[in-house]
Structure 1
Amino acid sequence: MVVDEPHRHSSERPRDQWIAVGSIAAGTFLLVTAEFLPIGLLSRLATDLQISEGAAGLAVTAPGFVAAFAAPAFVLLAGRADRRLIVTVLTAAIVISCLISATAESFHFFLLGRLILGLAVGGVWTFAVAVGRRLVSSGSGARATAIISAGISAGTVAGMPVGAVLGEWIGWRATFAATAVLGVLVVIAQLCFLPRLAPARAIGVGGLRAFARIPMARIGLIASGLVAAGHFIGYTFLEPYLRGALRLEQAGVALALGGYAVAGIVGSFLGEQLAVQNIRRAFVVVSALLGVSVLAAIAATGTAVGAIGMVMVWGLAFGAVPVCVQIWMFTSSPDLYEAGSALMVSAFQISLAAGAAIGGVLVDHAGIAAAFIASAVVTFGGAATALLSRPSWATTHDADSPLGKQI
């Protein structure tokens, strides 16, 4: 499907177009907030469900593994279905997942809710940015990508502080229930503001293979997978790091995570500005900064202010990663962007799940510092992959796109 095609809804006012993009961004925010809520609630989940903190990390890994297989399956099954219907149904699945998690009496039932969330993760990540780019003019595609990616970044960085703060105030069950209520509002907004969006063509297995054969696409998938794995080796256990290594009380944890969240949102738009100039350089810079900030956070453990400052730099760097990855996939082949999004989700989610699992093993057997060091090393590997590989991308580009530049 050509996702950055000439604007199909010229009869709509520009404000309505951006409100529609905003409803998708709200959906991505909801999705990723729900995905990462357990990270901010890890200690409480482990206590209430009578499991170790390392085992509780499965609440993060389980959706990732499901999403990795669901993403390409959704592309193949979606055919010519209305993308508006697909997006709203997947958002409703987030609501169902949160309700199951809120009422779970055992860890196994809790995981059932997380597996349903994994289906939503695979689908929303695959279609959200592709749909968002179609809602606006071709020249505004990068900004639509940044706004929707800001929802992803905001959810990534807000899920933990929201979980930590609300978990303290109202308990982890009520936190998941409140997220479900927010989800209902997002579904209503999407039904009200999203227009019908039939795809230009269906994507089959051949489309997935064609995208995977593009050298630039393969490099992006490998590099982003390494960065995702590196990030989540450490990020999954950021809340225990703040409470344990830095010995912060609840107010200090909330302050640190809040700073991380704000920095991540800023990072999304910084990533857009860097990516439209030179996508390879942007990806390498933000990935390297991510690795450096994780190491610096460990090095600054003795100084709470310095460590919190490095955590904020961490948030800034990772906030730029989703938008850089999405723009890299679009730059690799605009004509196969849905296929690229699906493969990117698979690579990213497998890496997320693997990273969280590796981090759990390291935390349980060697401590948080070891997990953070491993996090930085793997992240540097992703930056090096992008830096040292230089094949060209597909030659099919939108003439109005600012992304048709040498990378």
Structure 2
Amino acid sequence: MNLLVKGITIADPNSEFNQQKVDLRVEGGKIVAIEKQLSPLKNETVVAADGAILSPGFFDLNCMIGDPGLETKEDLQSGTAAAKAGGFTGIAVLPTTKPVVQTKGAVEYILNRAKNNLVDVHPIGAISNDLEGKELAELFDMKNAGAVAFSDGSKAIADDGFMSRALQYALGLEGLLMVYPENKSIAGKAQVNESKNNVLLGMKGIPALAEEMQLTRDIYLATYHNAPIHISQISTAGSVALIKKAKKDGLKITCDVAAHQLVFTEELLNDFDSNYKVKPPLRSKADNKALIAGLKDGTIDAVASQHRPHEIEFKDVEFEIASYGIIALQTVLPLLLQAGLDADLIAEKLAINPRKLLKLEVPVIGIGATANFVVYHPQQEWEYNVNNNRSKAANSPLLGKTLKGKVQLVYNNKQFETYE
């Protein structure tokens, strides 16, 4: 279906039209015209988007979808519906399903289930069998089947020797390991950040040291093997400093941060709201500032949703026994705007860099290019509620809140969807 989007400002650092206010026409899945003023044609859908931003479609590096086996949390249909509504035209889905995505067949299952969708779905294979950190999963077969990277989700790999072997094996495959930084022996069973606040809460705290020690180990191992490594979901100022130095030293290291870690702080836990229970835990305002600075200076490569859907019985319980995580695909954009990121930086960290990290084609807003974009109003307010929540789950502290930054349109794979 042909489409004309009027009155948008392009936000794409790779485009010759970047920062220009234009109209844009799509025919047959291709961008065929970008001009100051375009008149509507017959049989063309016209979207008036005055004041809106048009960016390459967002891509999420860290998304949990329950298919296969945990579809009561989220299935591919509901997960991609939430992704679309959040401006995502591509997602990389974690292997934390039941059974774990650790074989060629499991990768092929996801790819077949996700065919003909507006949202591109890319499986991430497990690093270890059953996410236990003991035996390597079928990395070679999974990569050949279409796995874009390997991860054990939010389970850190404790065994140093196993991590060393995994890096060495992945290097031979030109595969990317995405690892979660937590030293479990330091973190223990604590569930909140270690600070004055955790003492007031009467709960044990996870020190920043737990994250930074694990990160240091992974830096040493990646240096030893001269192997690329991606650190998922950093949360501390110390981690930003360690990665900044590693990059300066020439290490092939990349990292991402969850959008909520840029805005939420540990003080939000004072009412023991389990919807704020995440892993890594919410940290301090100083950590927020360091993470935002790390995005702006290039230390942090990408922002991820860390979408973690759960049934009500896993979250509407006492804080200590509640599961970790929030649903996040529809709220990443408002949080990034709240954190003060401009349109070009959002495009870089949420659309361009995530695809670069996985060696996927990066959409460009240009004449003749394949159409893959999101249109959003950075100033438009909307209420996130049970009626417009596309996820099966409802574990978000932002439900019922008024947010600023509204997705109006997504286009990909010759399909588009609009949102009022």
**TM-score, normalization by structure 1:** 0.24
Tell which structure's C-alpha radius of gyration is larger.
2
Higher relative contact order (CA 8 A, sep 6+): 1
Between structures 1 and 2, the one with greater strand share: 2
